[in-house]
Amino acid sequence: MFRKQLLAIAAITTVGIAPLAQADQHQEDRWYVAPFGSFVRTGGDRGAKDGWGAGLGIGKAINDHFNVELRGFYQGFSSDGSKLGGRDGRWDLAGGTAEVQYYLTRGKFSPYTVIGLGAMNTSTNGNSGIGFIGEAGAGFTYELHDNFLLRSDVRYRYNQNFNAKLQPGTEEFHDMVVNVGFVVPFGSKHAAPAPVAPVVEAAPVDNCATLDSDADGVSNCEDKCPATIAGSKVDATGCAISLELKGVNFRHDSAELTPNAMTILDTVADNLVAYPQKSDIEVHGHTSSEGTDKHNLKLSKRRSQSVVKYLQQKGVSNRLIAKGYGESHPIADNSTEEGREQNRRVELVWTGN
């Protein structure tokens, strides 16, 4: 019978009891005392009747799941003469255990499992002996007040008396103990640490005065023409005034665009198509000082017309006006090849700005 009861307790210990109450909002880590009374259902190997006892536990809650406790107890019962050939007698048990309780949850109703080890002095029929005991079981507490809890558990107890010869034929005894009592914790529960809120960094606030999205030198606050084509000269409102088409060259003494010039103009055309500023654009052609003024004037006009035609073929919708200025507007010294190279140029000039 006791082996069936042991299996039942083990099942409870292994599977656990479903929490019936939410965990308290305080941490449990207090010292306490726990008086209790006991009912002992003796094993058949004792040849004794059931009995009663009492005891006291002193313990401490380690955290919200574990208690450790030292317990002392006294229990007594009489022999069963019908099982001992009519011989009557009495059993007196006095012992103590050190135990660990595991609480599935802490709340008003708190189920737990327990395991304990200790020693017990057994006296019967004029003989006595100290033996080893081990206990395992399950129970619960029910909180009536912050400093007063009801407690009950049921335990299987194994008792080994070694060579005390208290009972002919065996030194092992198996009992079932039911304890009922109360727990008195000292002090108040400690408040559980408040959950730490994650630190959320504030998203940076865009300040238009410090931003220049198109890198034209005018802040976003003042820029009336966003997405200005890179390299453009702009006015105080960020609108394009002019753009030198660097790298747009022609074959020698000709208005025929080089392949590299066409590649550059493809990018310029895409930017002009996407650029929201749709005012008229003058295409200015310039030359270096080689040749006559008349020749250079005509050559610069034809070159600007070549650029206009190419941009129009690429879908530029602005009104494009070709103008040639020959060698009349140099930006560098025509006496050096480097200077002449700079003077041979094509510029886009937005009108009306």
pLDDT 10s digits, 105-124:
999 999 999 999 999 999 98
Q: Is a pLDDT exceeding 50 seen at residue 249?
A: yes
- Domains annotated on the chain, with CATH: 2-191 (2.40.160.20), 208-350 (3.30.1330.60)
The bridge status of strand 51-61 relative to strand 66-78 is antiparallel
Per the model's pLDDT, the better-predicted residue between 335 and 197 turns out to be 335
Grouping H, G, I as helix, E, B as strand and the rest as coil, residue 42 is coil
Give the Cα separation of 280 and 308 in Å (integer). Answer: 12
Instruction: Please tell me the predicted confidence (pLDDT) of residue 24.
Output: 42
Identify which of 114, 118, 117, 122 has the alpha carbon closest to the alpha carbon of residue 94. Answer: 122
Instruction: Please tell me the predicted confidence (pLDDT) of residue 229.
Output: 83
Instruction: Please tell me the predicted confidence (pLDDT) of residue 12.
Output: 43
Length of the chain: 353
Instruction: Please tell me the predicted confidence (pLDDT) of residue 86.
Output: 47
Instruction: Please tell me the predicted confidence (pLDDT) of residue 2.
Output: 47
Give the Cα separation of 44 and 84 in Å (integer). Answer: 11
Q: Contact, 325 vs 288, CB < 8 A?
A: no
In this prediction, residue 142 has a pLDDT band, given cuts at 50, 70 and 90, of very high
Chain-centroid distance of CA 1 in Å reads 51
Q: Contact, 233 vs 240, CB < 8 A?
A: yes
Percent of the chain beyond pLDDT 90?
A: 38
* DSSP symbol at 314: T
Q: Is a pLDDT exceeding 70 seen at residue 9?
A: no
In this prediction, residue 23 has a pLDDT band, given cuts at 50, 70 and 90, of very low
Longest Cα separation, the chain: 149
Give the Cα separation of 33 and 31 in Å (integer). Answer: 7
Instruction: Please tell me the predicted confidence (pLDDT) of residue 160.
Output: 92
Assigned token pair, 29: 């880590």
- The listed range with the strongest mean pLDDT (14-28, 147-161, 204-218) is 147-161
Assigned token pair, 303: 């070159």
pLDDT digits (tens, 9 = 90+) for 279-297: 888 889 898 888 898 998 9
Pseudo-torsion of CA 137, 138, 144, 149, nearest 10°?
A: 30
Pseudo-torsion of CA 264, 267, 272, 273, nearest 10°?
A: 140
Instruction: Please tell me the predicted confidence (pLDDT) of residue 226.
Output: 81
Q: Is a pLDDT exceeding 50 seen at residue 85?
A: no
Instruction: Please tell me the predicted confidence (pLDDT) of residue 177.
Output: 96
Grouping H, G, I as helix, E, B as strand and the rest as coil, residue 16 is coil
Region 210-234: what's the mean pLDDT?
83
Percent of the chain beyond pLDDT 70?
A: 87
In this prediction, residue 343 has a pLDDT band, given cuts at 50, 70 and 90, of confident
pTM higher than 0.85 for the full model? no
Tell me the C-alpha to C-alpha distance, in Å, between residue 148 and each of 32, 114, 262, 345.
Answer: 10, 20, 93, 97
Residue type, 209: A
Q: Where are the alpha helices (DSSP H) in the chain?
A: 2-15, 259-274, 293-313, 337-343
Grouping H, G, I as helix, E, B as strand and the rest as coil, residue 277 is coil
pLDDT digits (tens, 9 = 90+) for 294-315: 998 998 899 999 988 998 998 8
Q: Contact, 65 vs 103, CB < 8 A?
A: yes
Region 314-330: what's the mean pLDDT?
89
